[in-house]
Structure 1
Amino acid sequence: MCQRSFTSVRFITFSPAHLVLLFFQSATIPLFMSNKDVAAEAVTGSGKTLAFVIPILEILLRREEKLKKMQVGAIIITPTRELAIQIDEVLSHFTKHFPMFSQILLIGGRNPMEDVEKFKEQGGNIIVATPGRLEDLFRRKAEGLDLASCVKALDVLVLDEADRLLDMGFEASLNAILDFLPKQRRTGLFSATQTQELESLVRAGLRNPVRISVKEKGVAASNTQKTPTRLENFYMICKADEKFNQLVHFLRQHKQEKHLVFFSTCACVEYYGKALESLIKQVKIMSIHGKMKHKRNKIFTEFRKLPGGILVCTDVMARGIDIPEVHWVLQYDPPSSASAFVHRCGRTARIGNVGSALVFLLPMEESYINFLSINQKCPMQEMKPQTNVLDLLPKLKSMALADRAVFEKGMKAFVSYVQAYAKHECNLIFRIKDLDFASLARGFALLKMPKMPELRGKCFPDFTPVTVNTDSISFKDKNREKQRQKKLEELKKEREENQGKKKFVKNKAWSKQKAKREKKKKVTAKRRREEGSDIEDEDMEELLNDTRLLKRLKRGKISEEEFEKKLTGNHRLKAETVEDIDSEG
């Protein structure tokens, strides 16, 4: 087993914020180009991409044996398509001066066979990829591409946003990919935050690693602010049914600027994105989330080029994404983890620029400010809710009444929000039992309360559902409405045909319950045998009957005489049964 020595941690101090890029790169590039594996940590927006792109090109240029068309010399793995596209663009600015190197982008959202054909035609000395698509291509040997044999000449592996790559959903793909790669390589782990899982990967997968960490001048390492110093962080405390009005008012006051608006779920992005499009005029509003397939790349590329506008998004846009001149990051819903809060804020005030961030909080969530101050070293300023803002929730309700698509999006958004809230990492502050569901439903402009387990058995006197039968609300899209009516007719016909007939649906469930009981009975019997219990089933049943009688006596439901009589009767019945069995035997 080879020994792994760790170079001491390097702390770089800087004074002007715009110099952070130069300090980080000057610390990282020479070490990565030498025979060192690197685990680099720096505040978001400090120029991590160039810190690995330049060494990759330099290492490949120094190769004694030049790379052939189908040989892979470097792989850059990143968690999201958007970040992969961004890295591919930065890389292309350099590779156009080195035509001997081919590069290829391997991400989801398009046909994998197109990627296979492109690789076979053009090659891919440098691969920029997301984990899922890269793993898929490693396993596609039937299409005439054996990627595993192409990476035998690999010199460099880079894991960008490495801590996110180790999250659930990426770890399995990452492990599968690493199994295909040669052990003798240089590896770089780049991230804005260090986690315990990342530390484990450093110890397990890096040879002669050096850790690089950029810190603020005059700030102790244990007390380092994790957001850019030129970022102003604000919070606003308002009720659930006031939040949307405050958001729209704010966006209308800042029409000429560029904003990212974060929501907790894809369904919330779909719903509120459409709502903002209808309520804020003369502003380009776009929506993006992880469940989008083919549209994501186009939306991301288009928004980056805009001088102003609003991008409604989930945390798919929270990590490593560099969108020029973002003025405000608005967090309508606090993220599920504290580290995600830092990454969201980091989409503005990048590389020495100024920027601002605002998070909306419910009154019961105010202690989250102290938590961020202690846990993430994020200084926060309060922004008071604006007075005399227009109430736009009736307009949202009118939109839902006029189009079933809006009504359904609102219901799905509410359900997804509650479910996400229940899974919040900081569950001592974000407690689902403290949620005011009536106020929340009003904030979503719901026409009625949805049926979901979290609301079962609760009544909501402060929420008034509409008197309109929601089944009568139709889709504006005529084709969708036609399909809905067809389904309704089919259901009606099915009900009429089955009217008066006996239903045997429960038989299957009953058989499953019976099988479950039988299995439980066998397990209980086995456990008793293993524990050496000498109590037989009949004795156990007798004991239970005696206990029931005793409880009835204590509650005064039977007298002492009745208790003794029934107790004696039960025992006599058992004795007679045993005698009968003996005589038959």
Structure 2
Amino acid sequence: MAEPDILVNFDLAPAVNAFGASSSINGIRGGRWKDRFRAKKRLQNKRGKPSFLDADGNQKSTNAQSYPPLNSDVLAGPDHARGSTSRPKAGNEHAGAPRLSYDQPVISSIFSSNPVSVAKVEKTGTENAGPAIPTNAPLKDGSAFSTMGLAPALASHLVNNMNISAPTSIQQIAIPQLISSDSDAFIQAETGSGKTLTYLLPLVHRIYTATLSGDKLHRDSGCFAIILAPTRELGRQIYTVLMQLLSHPSLHWLVPILILGGEKKKSEKARIRKGGNILVATPGRLADHLSNTTSLDVGSVKWLVLDEGDRLMELGFEETLEQILTALNERAQKGSGKISLANLGLPDRRITVLCSATMKASVQRLGDMSLKDALYLKGNQKSDATEESSKSFQTPAQLKQAYIVSPAKLRLVTLASILRRAFIRNKEHMKVIVFFSCADSVDFHYQAFRKTEDKEQNDTRPETSSDEEEKAETEVAEGQKEKPRRPSLAAKSSAPLIDPAVSLFKLHGSLAQHIRTSTLNEFFHEKDGAVLFCTDVASRGLDLPNVDLVVQYDPPYSQEDYIHRIGRTARAGRDGRALLFLLPGCEESYPNQVLKEQHLTRRLADEVLKKGFGAAPLPKVAKAVDPSWKKDFMPKTSGAKWEQEAVEFHLDVERRVLASDEFSNIAKRAFQSHIRAYATHVAAEREIFDIKQLHLGHIAKSFGLRERPGDIKLPARGKSGTASSASGKRKLDNIDTNGDNTQEDQDEEGLRRAAQMMRKKMREHMNVASEFNIG
């Protein structure tokens, strides 16, 4: 037995490991992880043997003969874990270096280092529930428009010509009240329940019955009603419904006028001079005409309808609405000299009708501005406007709602999987709307899914050759007059990455008005499958047929926005589905904390990817890549077909971003705008949508970017692929100051003031709310 004072000491020589570093260095214990890691990297650099991470995340030594000659930037991907410095830094390409082509491999891994869902799975009990009874469908209890006090000619016109046989619940309650009473009213009803006809029918009926007394009215008799809409698309839709309603022969003299922002004021003034009885307008353009157009006579206005009142207040129209109300009050006192309205049976005072699908503080503030002793009209409920509803508004019962928990790196492939799956069974008359937070994000995803050969938005139209042109000229000369096909102005393209038969559209506030109008019109009349990428510009009031699925790729800014977005489907009793994207972590509490009264089914990204990428092979659009490198370079997966297809889809997008300066700039702008938009959630939801919890590297990955977030530098607009010169124009928040800030030494305060002035001018010109162009 050894003595207790004897100390046995073993002296071992430092063994060199595969990295070229001694085990005494690699086996250091204590201290910071970064210090140990840096010491190991210094030894590796001295011995000239670089190390790489394999697909499983393990380090291994390599030599030059094992890999094809590639730029290190190609091998490097964005960080998959915070603080990782083992990968070469991306984004340091030399100026003038050629872009990568498709035959050069691009390595990426979207299934590694993803956060795991933390929320507990709770069964909602809605999976096996039977079909719900629609709550916004026309009534089936024998109710008819003829029993609601409407004129017989108008009631028969609804049934015979407009194919509307029965009223909805809100129409049955509100229309008799608005016909018989001269009180103001606040109408609250579910999305898709027919609020437009609810306020159009009473005012058209009362103007129509005024002509039955013997007094002849015409388009010069004055403007009797004004309808305000927050967006141009909703205003045009209201005008279309009104035109259908006035197509009856006995109402041919009743003329509506449409004035919207973005249109030519000269043509609008010409229509106003000709005269009209019902005016549909956006607030900004109406305030402009009230100030500058003397031929606009509003002295005889008896109805003022504020459609989507909460949206009017959100877009910053509060000051404009006060200006409009003041002008109407002043001119009502002066009266109209064109015709005496004493014996027409019209209301003695102006009736204000406020419509909204949600009740919130902004609507109550607008009601205080415009309503007096108003009736509160709601489906299956009548009460005074002073009573507050303690229960938040419900969505249609037949609408199936779900949310999907998807890591940031899997968001793009998950969206592709959902869209591909949606059109597998039914491709005809199937339409999908995808909502994004900002216009730049819409542009990126539209470019990612569109036809890759297209260079312009309208490349889907066929080109005519010189022989075809000569043939057409010959036919015209022979007397066969055929109207030439006008080129489409819509932002439309084919979508081969979804389905060859599917058309892809985009819509946001930055597009010109004629493009927005044409896009919405073609999406409305599209007979085959169609997908619309849009911002919240399409979330209010639009009645688009055959929309079976609404995808909220970016979470809404509030509960009210959520309700209006999903309200584009499940309209008038039809079935519909709604899907919300959420990130793992704090966002998973959104359904329980914010959407308390909604029953959402929980889904995981892997389940969706298996159905979308495992059902059918992905359409091959890109140039085939030599498979010899895939064994060493392709990120390892479980070997499942759906994982390989998903990785290949994401790689194709990344290759296109690397190969095109224009596409790369679109992706960078989308990433930056997405982060800014994420920070604009309401204060009550900041804990759920915490920008500090975002992994910016993974978010950049979802936009096809392989650069670190700090290395993403965006050139000025209009200079694709080139950095802004030293004497170029300075910008703030992606807004060009048009030469006001060309001096580099201009102080920060001057730049801020110039940017504010430009934002104000853009809002006045484009009628939008913010830099995200959602209006």
Shared fold (TM-score greater than 0.5)? yes
Change (3 A) 1:485 1:373: closer
Which residue pairs with 2:673 in the alignment? Answer: 416
Give the counterpart of 2:242 among 74, 88, 91. 91
* 1:272 lines up with 2:445 in the alignment: yes
Which residue pairs with 2:102 in the alignment? Answer: none
* 1:429 lines up with 2:688 in the alignment: yes
Which residue pairs with 2:591 in the alignment? Answer: 369
Which residue pairs with 1:101 in the alignment? Answer: 254
* 1:197 lines up with 2:418 in the alignment: no
Alignment check: 8 A CA contact 1:261 1:332 kept: yes
Change (3 A) 1:135 1:224: closer
Alignment of 1:167-566 (within 5 A): 167-182=314-329, 184-214=349-379, 222-223=390-391, 226-255=394-423, 256=427, 257-278=430-451, 279-282=497-500, 283-293=502-512, 294-307=514-527, 308-364=529-585, 365-374=587-596, 377-385=597-605, 386=608, 387=610, 388-389=642-643, 390-391=646-647, 392-425=649-682, 426-449=685-708, 509=747
| Residues in 2 aligned to 1:413 and 1:486: alpha-carbon distance in whole angstroms | 18
Q: How many angstroms does 1:221 deviate by?
A: 6.7
Q: Which amino acid aligns with 1:84?
A: G
Change (3 A) 1:69 1:395: same
Unaligned regions of 5+ residues in structure 2, if any?
A: 1-132, 140-166, 333-348, 382-387, 452-496, 611-641, 729-742, 751-775
SS at match of 1:93: helix
Change (3 A) 1:15 1:317: closer
Change (3 A) 1:441 1:56: same
Q: How many angstroms does 1:311 deviate by?
A: 0.3
SS at match of 1:321: coil
Q: Which amino acid aligns with 1:41?
A: Q
Change (3 A) 1:215 1:486: same
| Residues in 2 aligned to 1:275 and 1:198: alpha-carbon distance in whole angstroms | 39
SS at match of 1:259: strand
Give the counterpart of 1:113 among 266, 278, 287. 266
| Residues in 2 aligned to 1:68 and 1:86: alpha-carbon distance in whole angstroms | 22
Give the counterpart of 1:77 among 217, 223, 228. 228
Q: Which amino acid aligns with 1:108?
A: G
Change (3 A) 1:133 1:509: closer
Change (3 A) 1:490 1:60: same
Alignment of 1:20-169 (within 5 A): 21-33=167-179, 34-63=181-210, 66=217, 68-69=219-220, 71-97=222-248, 98-121=251-274, 123-141=275-293, 145-147=294-296, 150-169=297-316
| Residues in 2 aligned to 1:53 and 1:510: alpha-carbon distance in whole angstroms | 52
| Residues in 1 aligned to 2:138 and 2:418: alpha-carbon distance in whole angstroms | 32
Alignment check: 8 A CA contact 1:334 1:359 kept: yes
Q: Which amino acid aligns with 1:363?
A: P
Q: How many angstroms does 1:215 deviate by?
A: 5.3
Change (3 A) 1:130 1:509: closer
Q: How many angstroms does 1:60 deviate by?
A: 1.5
Q: Which amino acid aligns with 1:305?
A: H
Change (3 A) 1:157 1:17: closer
Alignment check: 8 A CA contact 2:226 2:280 kept: yes
SS at match of 1:366: helix
Alignment check: 8 A CA contact 2:313 2:366 kept: no
| Residues in 2 aligned to 1:437 and 1:486: alpha-carbon distance in whole angstroms | 23
Which residue pairs with 1:496 in the alignment? Answer: none
Q: Which amino acid aligns with 1:430?
A: F
- What value does the CA root-mean-square deviation take over the aligned residues? 2.9
| Residues in 2 aligned to 1:226 and 1:243: alpha-carbon distance in whole angstroms | 28
Alignment check: 8 A CA contact 2:258 2:281 kept: yes
SS at match of 1:383: strand
Change (3 A) 1:96 1:369: same
Q: Which structure has more RCO (C-alpha within 8 Å, separation ≥ 6)? A: 2
| Residues in 2 aligned to 1:506 and 1:327: alpha-carbon distance in whole angstroms | 52
Alignment check: 8 A CA contact 1:372 1:378 kept: no
SS at match of 1:153: coil
Q: Deviations over 1:67-117 (max 9, x none)?
A: 552611111101111111111111111212211111111112221111111
Q: Deviations over 1:119-168 (max 9, x none)?
A: 223x2211111111111211223xxx432xx1101111111111111124
SS at match of 2:270: helix
Alignment check: 8 A CA contact 1:87 1:128 kept: yes
Change (3 A) 1:443 1:134: same
| Residues in 1 aligned to 2:375 and 2:414: alpha-carbon distance in whole angstroms | 47
Which residue pairs with 2:492 in the alignment? Answer: none
| Residues in 2 aligned to 1:441 and 1:372: alpha-carbon distance in whole angstroms | 27
Q: How many angstroms does 1:436 deviate by?
A: 0.7
Q: Which amino acid aligns with 1:322?
A: D
| TM-score normalised according to structure 2 size | 0.55
Deviates more, 1:15-24 or 1:436-445: 15-24
Q: Deviations over 1:322-374 (max 9, x none)?
A: 00010100010001111100100110001111000001110021000112332
Aligned length: 452
Q: Deviations over 1:502-554 (max 9, x none)?
A: xxx89875999xxxxxxxxxxxxxxxxxxxxxxxxxxxxxxxxxxxxxxxxxx
Alignment check: 8 A CA contact 1:70 1:120 kept: no
| Residues in 1 aligned to 2:380 and 2:566: alpha-carbon distance in whole angstroms | 18
Q: Which amino acid aligns with 2:544?
A: I
* 1:18 lines up with 2:137 in the alignment: yes
| Residues in 1 aligned to 2:748 and 2:660: alpha-carbon distance in whole angstroms | 42
| Residues in 2 aligned to 1:246 and 1:507: alpha-carbon distance in whole angstroms | 46
| Residues in 2 aligned to 1:133 and 1:447: alpha-carbon distance in whole angstroms | 44
Q: Which amino acid aligns with 1:423?
A: T
Q: Deviations over 1:16-58 (max 9, x none)?
A: 6524652211211121122121101011111001001111111
Unaligned regions of 5+ residues in structure 1, if any?
A: 1-13, 453-464, 492-504, 513-585
SS at match of 2:571: coil
Q: Which amino acid aligns with 1:176?
A: Q
SS at match of 1:254: helix
Alignment check: 8 A CA contact 1:215 1:224 kept: no
| TM-score normalised according to structure 1 size | 0.72
| Residues in 2 aligned to 1:129 and 1:511: alpha-carbon distance in whole angstroms | 37
